[in-house]
Structure 1
Amino acid sequence: MEFIRALVFAWLYFALPAAAALPELPDMGAPSDTVLSPDEEKHLGEAFYRNLHQHVRISQDLEIQDYIASLGGRLVAQSEMANRTFHLFVVMEPEINAFAGPAGYIGVNSGLILATQSEGELASVLAHEIAHVTQQHLRRAFAAAKRLTLPMAAATLAAILIGTQAPELGQAALIALQAGGIQQQINFTRSHEQEADRVGIQILTASGFDPRSMPLFFERLQQSTRFLGQNVPEFLRTHPVTSARIADTRARAETFPYRQYPDSIGYLLTKAKLQVLTATDLSALQKSFETQRRQGTLEAKAAASYGLALSLKAQNRLAASQEILQALIERFPDQPQFIHALAQVELALGQTEQALKRYQSALQRFPGSRVLQLEYASALLENARFQEARRLLEALLPSQALQQPLLFQLLARAYAGLGAPAESQRYLAEYYYATGDLERAIEHATVASKLAQGNRILEAITQQRLQDFQAEDKARKQN
């Protein structure tokens, strides 16, 4: 038993620096101590999310991020926590999986998105995960872990995810938890799944999606993995789908009238882009898109053409990609994904001024698009227009910080180009902190603090952040 506990604490030390830096949170020793305050849960969620960057590849593609956040927002708006902030993100892993973490952090694997055959199926999975949060299933799981501190509870949640990528780490933690006498948590989870199905279907229907999508997707997963033995998708391990569950969700779905539920073009474009980003054979994917663009709805054909253009660009066939995207913009002038893709091809072709003007024009039409703002700033940096990029990026800081590490990275490049190394190092420190690399964050914050000497305001800012990072590192090591 002591050996297993030692394994878990060793794993916690190396794998969960951010979550371990919450010594002020309550011990889970008694039921009355198990309720997290909103502020405590917020800090735990932020630490959980930062730490995930060190173990899985979280998509930094702005268009993919925006789509999944938009879809999640549409679902959350119809939930019991419509006024609460949720954070949805895509994990670039082929396994079929989705999970809900503390403070409404919900991740979905690219493999699961690609396994869906309709937007309703994807929405059904997200609605199910949102229901886990709204019904406070995570808090109940904490309450079941009576002998665990909150950082260890966070480590357990991380272990469930990390176990899909590094089974020996996740399994060590889970074995220790079972040995600790909380096997009841597993049984408790079965009732969670039933409740999440029921609430999820309500959210799904209220959001304008087909409630039949949930049993349809679950049933297809079950049938396609029937003979896989121990190699079933992680989603089915953490969310076991039984025939009874499928029957129950189908019965609930059938109480709603049937109608057509077309996929949004955002879903179709996101799926096409993910296919290109995860392709192992671009030539074969190109042929598939060529076939798809001749069939289906107008939106489906457009998405296939978009996927074809992206696959051609990935193969450095830039002129062919440009021709397809120009034709798409003529038919869909208000689709920012096509504008951005064409600007990227123009940059690759060396048509720099044309690309920059395209971004400028697009931002006049879509002034709130963070995708276009950040991509335009990146293009400015590539062309040594550092002051313009800095002004654009700093205007985004108040709303982008935690969720967009790329913003910090671009700001570091902008200040480096402007000959301001202290500011550059400061934002590099923020970038590494946002992505869970506390050690490198401290290194860059230390350099920034030294370089800032003589600038009273910047010196105070960099020293404070360095102290914050060092305090968190100390708390981690004490655990």
Structure 2
Amino acid sequence: MKALYPIIFLLCSVPFALADGLPELGDYSATVMSPLDEQRIADEIMRDVYASNQVLEDPEINDYIDGLGHKLAENSSDKYQQFNFFVVKDNSINAFAMPGGVIGVHTGLLLAAKNESEVAGVLGHEIGHVVQRHLARMLAKQKNDSVISMATMALALLAARSNPQLTSGALVTSGASAIQKQIDYTREHEREADRVGLQIMADAGFDAHAMPAFFETLQKGTRFSEGSAPAFLRTHPLTVERIADVRNRVEQGSSFRMVQENPEFQFVKAKLLSNIGTADSAINLFRINLEENNRTNEAAQHYGIALAMLRKNDLPGAAEEVAWLRKNAVANAMIETLATRVAVTGKSPAVAEQQYLDALRHYPEYRALIYAYADHLLASRQGGKLLQLIADKQSRFPDDPYFYELKARLYSMQGNTLLMHQAQGEAYARRYNLRGAVEQMDLATKVKGGDFYERSIVEARLKQLRQQLDDKKRD
């Protein structure tokens, strides 16, 4: 998880007391569904999440959300709960939580939020649902002892919450609509999640006023028909009383606090906007923003223009924007990654490699840079350097499937079928696809060749994966 920009407080604040009156769950939540059951359901959900085309595959945006989510989660009451944060390619304004700490955020919500604290408020709310174990308790009320059946229900709910109007697709079942109605959040659960979320975001250093402000913005934009309401309102019903309760808790629990804006959030928004519509329309939008906003988020607008320039292969234009950023903006990893992309385009492999190495010296753990350099090494057939890079970075990111996918592609290029299947199997395992992992390891054992050490590792790993798959089937 990459480091976030520090949140600097210009004025001191008193501690929040926003979560008073929350129910003591005691042993009840553990009896309705064990943490192990929840984790198995989470694995099932994440397998389908990875297999779908709904997940945004962008290391910068995903790492940003993951970092923000875990910063909040570290301030929750449950220090042992694991979380998986990911971004869904969907323009609707929504976010959702599932058993096992699975939390998805729509790109539409990121674009609708004015600042990072508003996103933190929504994530804090979803984390509140998880640590209060709302979904686990509601799923258990279905009185179905099968964890697999619960996982199916959870996957259907994932589809319904992700896009309430979907009727078909990779994650949708015929019962999604009915399940949505059966186990929808109760009003009390929503109030609990609000209170917990406020406490979490305040403890993490964000402006708690942003939560009711964002809720009010959503409600003002939809006075109207149910069909026009943002998805977040349909899956997390807001009432005037609920918003008032949140605002009263904020006002009673805090003194005035000014939080410095995190520029990375605006860069994330600009990156999303740069890929909407044509490159020219995106450039025009950013230039209009520069004219109208009087230097508000100025650096992010130039960043977005540079990305859109790259889309249309205008390297001189992109380079000009990068030069402006390096002169006028505070240095950060997103700017350096963009600058490296512009610098290496069309250059010789040797020049490009030096650019990557220079950037990685400043940001050695920034995955977007690591991935880009790894892709360069693969394209230039520098297999030894690629394997060394992966070995160096896997100590920091041991469960990153992309590193194994890179190794599988390299071994395929080299004609090493055994190691190719082994690496692809490890990638599948880290994408929660145990069946695919077993198939790949089994294929690896059937390949002729390979030394005793390599074959022994593959056979031992195949046995381990088969055992995990059998355990899952028995559950």
> One fold, TM greater than 0.5?
yes
Contact 2:29 2:133 in 1 (8 A): no
Q: CA deviation at 1:399?
A: 4.5
| Cα deviation digits, residues 61-88 of structure 1 (max 9, x gap) | 1111221112112212222124544221
CA distance in 1, matches of 2:433, 2:39: 20
Please state whether the residue corresponding to 1:400 is helix, strand or coil: coil
Q: Which amino acid aligns with 2:121?
A: S
Match of 1:167 in 2: 167
Name the counterpart of 2:10. none
Could you tell me which residue of structure 2 aligns to residue 274 of structure 1? 272
Matches within 5 A, 1:35-74: 35-37=33-35, 39-74=36-71
- Structure 1 residues 418-453: Cα deviation after superposition (integer angstroms, max 9, x where no partner): 443321222223334444666654553343222265
Q: CA deviation at 1:241?
A: 1.3
The CA distance in 2 between the partners of 1:84 and 1:452, in whole Å, is 44
Superposition deviation, residue 226 in structure 1:
2.9
Corresponding position of 2:242: 245
Q: Which residue of 1 aligns with 2:144?
A: 147
Question: Residue type matched to 1:406 in 2?
Answer: Y
* Residue type of the alignment partner of 2:167: P
Q: Distance in 2 between matches of 1:465 and 1:147?
A: 33
TM-score between both structures, scaled by the size of structure 1: 0.83
The residue identity in structure 1 corresponding to 2:258 is: Q
Root-mean-square deviation over aligned CA pairs:
3.0
Q: How does 1:123-142 map to 2 (within 5 A)?
A: 123-142=120-139
Q: Does the 8 Å CA contact 1:452/1:462 hold for their aligned counterparts? A: no
Q: Which moved more, 1:98-107 or 1:457-466?
A: 457-466
Query: Contact 2:418–2:450 at 8 Å: present in 1 too?
Result: no
Residues 371-400 of structure 1, C-alpha deviation per residue, up to 9 Å, x if partnerless?
322322122112111110111113333553
Q: Give 3-state SS (helix, strand or coil) of 2:86's partner.
A: strand
Q: Is the 8 A contact 2:98 2:158 kept in 1?
A: no
Structure 1 297/423 Cα, relative in aligned 2: closer, same or farther at 3 Å? farther
Aligned: 1:361 with 2:354: no
Letter in 2 for 1:291: I
Alignment of 1:29-40 (within 5 A): 33-37=31-35, 39-40=36-37
Q: Do residues 424 (structure 1) and 420 (structure 2) align?
A: yes
Give the Cα separation in 1 of the matches to 2:74 and 2:229.
33
How far off its partner does 1:239 sit? 0.9
Deviations 1:244-265 (A, max 9, x none): 2111112112222334334201
CA 1:406/1:234 → structure 2, altered by over 3 Å: closer, same or farther?
same
Q: Match of 2:346? A: 349
For 1:22, the equivalent position in structure 2 comes to: none
1:409 maps to amino acid? E
Partner of 1:449: 445
Change (3 A) 1:372 1:31: closer
SS of equivalent residue, structure 2 residue 55: coil
**Corresponding position: 1:393 with 2:395:** no
Corresponding residue of 1:261: 259
Write out per-residue CA displacement over residues 445-470 of structure 1, whole angstroms, 9 at most, x where no aligned residue. 34322226543333233345545666
> By how many angstroms is 1:272 displaced?
0.8
Contact persistence 1:390–1:415 (CA under 8 A): no
* SS of corresponding position for 2:310: helix
Q: Flag the 1:453–1:354 CA change in 2: closer, same or farther, 3 A.
A: closer
2:9 maps to what in 1?
none
Does residue 414 of the first structure (1) align with residue 414 of the second (2)? no
In terms of fraction of residues, the more helix-rich structure is: 1
Counterpart position of 2:16: none
- Residues 426 and 448, structure 1, Cα contact 8 Å, conserved in 2: yes
Distance 2:464 2:139 in 1: 27
Classify 1:134/1:32 alpha carbon distance in 2 versus 1 (closer, same or farther; 3 Å): closer
Query: 1:93 and 1:276, CA in 2 relative to 1: closer, same or farther beyond 3 A?
Result: same
Listed as ranges, the matches of 1:362-377 within 5 Å are 362-377=359-374
Per-residue deviation, 1:358: 2.1
Letter in structure 2 aligned against 1:260: M
Distance 1:385 1:175 in 2: 51
Does the aligned pair in 2 maintain the 1:57–1:93 contact within 8 Å?
Answer: yes
- 1: CA distance between counterparts of 2:303 and 2:446? 48
Amino acid corresponding to residue 172 of structure 1 in structure 2: S
For residues 463 and 234 of structure 1, the distance between their equivalents in structure 2, rounded to whole angstroms, comes to: 48
Asked if the contact 1:86–1:103 (Cα under 8 Å) also holds between the matched residues in 2, the reply is yes
In the TM superposition, residue 307 of structure 1 has moved relative to its aligned partner by: 0.6
- 1:307-337: CA deviations, max 9, x gaps? 1000110111122112211331234473121
Secondary structure of 2:51's match? coil
The answer to whether the 8 Å contact 1:293/1:302 transfers is no
Corresponding residue for residue 13 of structure 1:
none
Runs of 4+ in 1 over 6 A off after TM superposition: 471-479
Aligned CA distance change for structure 1 residues 370 and 174 (closer, same or farther; 3 Å): closer
Aligned to 1:7: none
Deviations 1:214-255 (A, max 9, x none): 112112212223334335333222211122211111211222
**How far did residue 363 of structure 1 move?**
2.0
Tell me what 1:195 maps to: 192
- Higher mean displacement: 163-172 or 69-78: 163-172
SS at match of 1:90: strand
Shift in alpha-carbon separation, 1:261–1:298, aligned structure 2, 3 A: farther
Measure how far apart 1:274 and its partner are.
1.3
Q: Where does structure 2 lack aligned partners over 5 or more consecutive residues?
A: 1-27
CA distance in structure 1 between the aligned counterparts of 2:29 and 2:71, rounded to whole angstroms: 35
- Return the alpha-carbon distance in structure 1 between the equivalents of residues 262 and 54 of structure 2: 26
Is the contact made by 1:58 and 1:89 (CA closer than 8 Å) also made in structure 2? Answer: yes
Secondary structure in structure 1 of the residue aligned to 2:212: helix
| CA distance 1:104–1:311, shift in 2 (3 Å) | same
Q: How far, CA to CA, are the matches of 1:111 and 1:347 in structure 2? A: 32
From the superposition, tell whether residues 95 and 472 of structure 1 become closer, same or farther in structure 2 (CA, over 3 Å): farther
Q: Secondary structure at the match of 1:319?
A: helix
SS at 1:108 equivalent: strand
- C-alpha separation between the residues in 2 aligned to 1:317 and 1:471? 53
